[in-house]
Structure 1
Amino acid sequence: MVQAAMTQFLNSVLSQRGPAAVPYSEDTKWLIRQQLVALSNAFPSLEAKTASYTHNDGRSVNLLQAEGTIPMSFQGVTYNIPVVIWLMESYPRHPPCVYVNPTRDMIIKRPHPHVNPSGLVSVPYLHNWTYPGSNLVDLVLNLSLHFGRDPPLYSQRRPNPNPNPNPNPNPNPNPNPNPPPPPSPSPSPYPLPPRSYPYPSASRLHSSSSTEDPSDVFKRNAINKLVDMVHGDLAAFRKSREAEMEGLFSLQGVLKQREDTLNQGLKEMQEEMEALEQQLQIVLMNTDVLEGWLRDNQGKKMGALDSPEDAFHCVDLLSNQMLHSTAADLAIEDTLYALDKALQHGALPFDQYLRSVRALSRDQFFHRATAAKVRASQLQAQVSNMAARSQHYAT
């Protein structure tokens, strides 16, 4: 039930649009949802929510965070460290920001190797964060391990609500000639109220070192050393697997580009094939027309025709215009050839040759332009006739 509510909440937040939308990349929102759900299942004390984060430059942005406590084990006792894990704008390609969140009766240990005075946490797992292998569950496990070795929070000393009026704290009438030293002003333990965050006290940390068995200390140090070695091996193994995964992602991108190129080439080939089929239909139609004319006129004599050209008649205005434009173009081409020969043999002055070529070329250009327009009109008419004929056969 809790997991379903968490999934519904994340789906609503990550799909929201507008000014209140979270600023994460669309291609990583599925991974953010998956990691937060896994974190909630592994550590129910950490709750995912949204809150306003203010950057150092004053910008405020609505971000996801996991707020709650991280359990840690210190000297056989389990404590809970309150933290806030901010998922920044570039998450999960870059690590989150983790802050220790002490309550009013807690203080941060100074100095601490992994927590600065403002509560910002810095551990190797965050420095070695890699996408997409690093995740929130492993981060919390790593934080629990480091906090258990060196707790970042201590309890503060509370004033005694019932001070002893007797100035002599020792009830023994014969005081010890060698009394213990007075309590240190450093933080010290005190009873915790119900449902509070339990955490170790400074005096317990200081006093435990003098009462522990050396064999236990050696065993604990050996176990910590083995844990560090295993963690290092796991980190190296994860890096190698992530490098392989990055290589596969790059190869996938190259294959995708090749697929797009092949699809584009196939599309162009299909379009060219359709154009060729259309031209083939026009050629076949013209062939049928010529074969029909040959069948009708086979064996007939020229009769009283003065020239062979009289045997051909243009059936429409476009054909007649095409015939005249083509004949004029070819005639000008022959004339230009004759002018070139005359110039080479010295039978024509050069300036006269230039004037003639300029005038003939201008006329030839207009004839060729006219022929091109007529050809386009004839092609459109043939396509329309073919479409009408196909529709007629279909009905």
Structure 2
Amino acid sequence: MVDSERLRSWLKQYHNPDVAYREIMSVTNQYRGLHPEQSLYNFNDGSRMELVNLSGTIPVRYKGSVYNIPICIWLIDTHPQNAPICYVKPTSDMSIKVSMFVDQSGKIYLPYLHDWVPSESDLLGLIQVLIVTFGDQPPVFARAKDTDPYGANSFMPQPSGSFVPYPTTYPPAPPSSNFSGYPPYPPTSNNAFPGYPPYQTPYTPYPITGFGTPQPPVGTGTIKEEHIRESLLTALEEKLLRRMKEQFQQNQAELDTLKRTQDELKQGKMKLDSILSRLEKEKNDLDKNITMLQDKEQELDKAIERISNEETIDVDDAVITTAPLYKQLLNAFAEEAALEDTIYYMGEALRCGVIDLDVFLRQVRTLSRKQFMLRALMQKCRQKAGLSI
């Protein structure tokens, strides 16, 4: 049972505590063998930080049986922006099986971690990838025991959670029936594999390999030379197949990386083509604008040259009206504009404290009344002249 309050207190230092809390609770609800803890994590640069981790075991199906693999998943304080750090944590009777996914220290390397996407990747998906990966290639095996008379040449997981050595040949039957080191062979050969007696035991059975294991004939308690030879060939075949599978997985991972790189390059090429086409269009528009500006510049030069050759024009003469009505309208407009400026500057004078409020109100009232009369006069003149109001 997860202590929610304690977990939330551990996640206070995280950048996205709500997201981390939801993912941890989702994992612990589905995988009861994992539980959250808080402890110090030592980084490669020597720094240390209090981080939350998920420790325990995950169920892995290997050759028809389910085994508990011990792991530890450390959540960085920036989770889920950065991928977690994962380790295999073998017990005292286990050893780490180094592969392309697990190094000697137990650190786990996966494409899912390398290509971590904050918006798509999460802890539940990570654990599911670990289960599938470890189902193909177990990360730990049991230490060889001195009591093994023949030595283990292949290793298989045991349902208790560890990995135990699985001998390719059975030891000879002991002469005394009181010897309990190994269970006796059955007296008949009526089983699923004719010629090979089943290995019966009151304990949890070993998973059956895909190649079969040569065993001595029924009723004999000795191992012949051909049995040892077949056992060695089987072990060699398993090792070669394992190496081929590892090489295939490595090449497949490299091929996937190259495909992703190719897709990224294609997308980049499409973006570059789009940018180039847009730049080409902008260049054409710019050339058109330059041509138009050059034409306008030539027109201005000609107008300046023509004006410079003409006589000087008096501004006052240029605005003389053609009729008394237009002159009255022009004078009213000019006086109204002057009153507008006067009112504005009086407001500025009041704001700066140059005049009093009483003086300001009295003068503005007088000017506004005069401005109203001028605007009424302009409206009547425009109506008389037939201009738009």
Query: Scaled by the length of structure 1, what TM-score is found?
Result: 0.44
Which structure has more helix as a fraction of its residues? 1
TM-score normalised per structure 2: 0.44
